[in-house]
Amino acid sequence: MHAVKRQMIMAITGALFLVSSTCFGAGIPDKVTIDSIQKYYSAVDFNHAAHINTLKDCGLCHHHTTGAQVNDPNCVRCHKNSGAQAVVSCKGCHAAEPFTPEALKRQRDQVPPIYHMDKVGLKGAYHLGCLGCHKKMGGPTGCQDCHKRNVSGDAIFHSNTYTPKSTNEPKQSHH
Partner 1 sequence: MIDRRDFLKGCVACSVTAASISVAGKNAFAAGSFEGYPDAMGVLVDLTRCVGCRSCEAACNNEQKLPEPDLPFDDQSVFMEQRRTTPKAYTVVNKYEVADKNTLFRKMQCNHCNEPACLTSCFVNAYTKTKEGAVIYNSKVCVGCRNCMIACPFNIPAYSYSSPTNPLVKKCIFCYDTRLKNGRPPACVEICPQQVMTFGHRSDLIEMGHERIKSNPAKYVNKLYGEKEVGGTSWMYLSSVDFDKIGLDNHMQNEPIISNVKDFLGMVPMVLSIWPALFTGIHLLATKNKGEHGDHDHKEGDQQ
User: Whole-angstrom Cα distance, residue 12 to residue 170?
Assistant: 68
Contacts for 14-17: CB closer than 8 Å, 24+ residues apart: 15/86
Binding site for partner 1 (CB under 8 A): 40, 74, 98-101, 104, 107-108, 114, 117-118, 120-121, 123-124, 126-128, 131, 141, 143, 155-159, 162-164, 166-167, 169, 171, 173, 175
Taking the least distance from each CB to partner 1, the nearer of 56 and 171 is: 171
Least CB distance from residue 17 to partner 1, whole Å?
A: 35
Least CB distance from residue 103 to partner 1, whole Å?
A: 9
Contact assessment for residue 75 and residue 64, using Cβ atoms and an 8 Å cutoff: yes
Least CB distance from residue 62 to partner 1, whole Å?
A: 19
Taking the least distance from each CB to partner 1, the nearer of 82 and 159 is: 159
Taking the least distance from each CB to partner 1, the nearer of 30 and 45 is: 45
Least CB distance from residue 14 to partner 1, whole Å?
A: 34
Which runs of consecutive H residues, i.e. helices, occur in the chain? Answer: 2-23, 48-55, 59-62, 73-79, 90-93, 101-109, 122-137, 143-146, 151-157
Contact assessment for residue 116 and residue 122, using Cβ atoms and an 8 Å cutoff: no
Taking the least distance from each CB to partner 1, the nearer of 88 and 146 is: 146
Give the CB-side neighbour count of residue 119, counting CA atoms within 13 A.
Answer: 23
